[in-house]
Amino acid sequence: MAVCKFPVRSDFYGLGIRIGFYFLWFGTILAAWIAPSEIRSLRLFIDLFVAATFLALIVTTINDVNNLQPVETYIVLLLAFGAYLALIPIYILRLLTCCDPYWNPSRWPLVSQSPLQANLSFIMLLGLLVYQYWFIFDRIPDLDRVNCDEYGFFFGQLKLNSRTFIVLNALFFFFLGLVALYILILKVRFMLGFPDPNETGPKRQISRRHKAAHIALLRNLDIWAKFIVAIAVTVAVEATISWNEIKGVSSLASVGQAIPFVIGLVAVLRILYVYFYVRDDDYDSDSEYSYRTWHGQQRHDRAPPPDLPPMGSGAPH
């Protein structure tokens, strides 16, 4: 069958919006290498982009579920989830290491995140997961009643309503849901006053030099995981648009496309400006601050334990 033809909604996934997301994802990774002082502001921009996109998606769905075709909703969800999908490789590593705190990349964040922003990002993740489950099990089956095909990406081209695509995505987001449940349990444990899991196991006796090298290794693994995920999500979005022959979403000639494009571009230019013209001496002190506060004074302020990942932290997070 031929691909479905429909009026596109470029205000959801037009070129400027897509590039704005890409700039922020890859910009956060670049900042981790050359300008860590910019990571906090980039995280905030990503959270704002995701919040605005998800809010618009919810409102559109409530007003008329047919305003967006399933493939369009799929593209929007890819953009919204892009900053969270890096949790998958991080928690696969945690499973492979039997949740050993020694191999927990989120234990030593490059730049600490405020508890308020972390909690708001986590709430947004829960909302996106609920919507994603509805989309997989209720919205996608609507395609069984039409005489055309819509395609999605899962490391290859698959029909959105094929059993393979539905099962693979259900398993994928079920795992992400388990990750969210684990994080929620840690938060509840912390609020109830239970000890931090990172501090209850046997202590490793390692030298200061070895510890610094180990922290650097975990941070590099975290950054490269986010880089690979960012590339995969970017390819998924652009391939989906190409496979479904969606036209009219490759122009910046509107305010709605120019604004996110300019925001993302300025964010990347700011990173380069800081690297070349501003002393970024806060890098080492901020990293040490992150470790000390997670393991010391911030506990008195009821901040999350170090097992909790810095949600909304980049790109994807």
Q: What is the pLDDT of residues 39-58, one digit of tens each?
A: 999 999 999 999 999 999 99
Nearest to 236 by CA among 168, 312, 314: 168
* The token pair that represents 216 in the structure block: 């650097």
* The token pair that represents 15 in the structure block: 């070129």
Would you say residue 2 lies in a domain? no
**Better-predicted residue by pLDDT, 234 or 310:** 234
Nearest to 46 by CA among 230, 294, 250: 230
Res 315 pLDDT > 70: no
Would you say residue 255 lies in a domain? yes
**Better-predicted residue by pLDDT, 292 or 256:** 256
Interval 215-233 mean pLDDT: 91
Res 304 pLDDT > 60: no
Nearest to 113 by CA among 40, 222, 32: 40
Q: How many domains does the chain have?
A: 1
Q: How many CB atoms lie within 10 A of CB 199?
A: 11
Please give the pLDDT value at position 203: 63
What's the pTM? 0.84
Query: Contact 124/54 with Cβ under 8 angstroms?
Result: yes
Burial class, 301, CB count within 10 angstroms (exposed 0-12 / middle 13-18 / buried 19+): exposed
Distance CA 74, CA 272 (A): 33
User: How far is residue 253 from each of residues 11, 49, 164, 283, measured CA to CA in Å?
Assistant: 12, 20, 38, 39
**Better-predicted residue by pLDDT, 10 or 109:** 10
Provide the residue range defining the domain that includes 122. Answer: 10-301
pLDDT digits (tens, 9 = 90+) for 58-105: 999 999 888 889 999 999 999 999 888 988 888 888 888 887 877 888
Interval 277-288 mean pLDDT: 54
Interval 166-186 mean pLDDT: 91
Please give the pLDDT value at position 202: 61
Please give the pLDDT value at position 288: 38
**Better-predicted residue by pLDDT, 161 or 99:** 161
- Lowest-pLDDT range of 1-5, 219-223, 236-240: 1-5
Share above pLDDT 70 across residues of the chain, in percent, rounded to a whole number? 84
Interval 181-192 mean pLDDT: 86
Please give the pLDDT value at position 294: 34
Would you say residue 313 lies in a domain? no
Interval 162-172 mean pLDDT: 92
Would you say residue 306 lies in a domain? no
Would you say residue 279 lies in a domain? yes
Please give the pLDDT value at position 55: 95
Would you say residue 200 lies in a domain? yes
Distance CA 158, CA 164 (A): 8
Interval 191-206 mean pLDDT: 68
Distance CA 14, CA 237 (A): 11
Would you say residue 148 lies in a domain? yes
Would you say residue 1 lies in a domain? no
Share above pLDDT 90 across residues of the chain, in percent, rounded to a whole number? 44
Instruction: Show the DSSP H helices in the chain as ranges.
Output: 10-13, 15-34, 39-63, 70-81, 87-96, 115-134, 163-191, 208-243, 255-277, 282-294
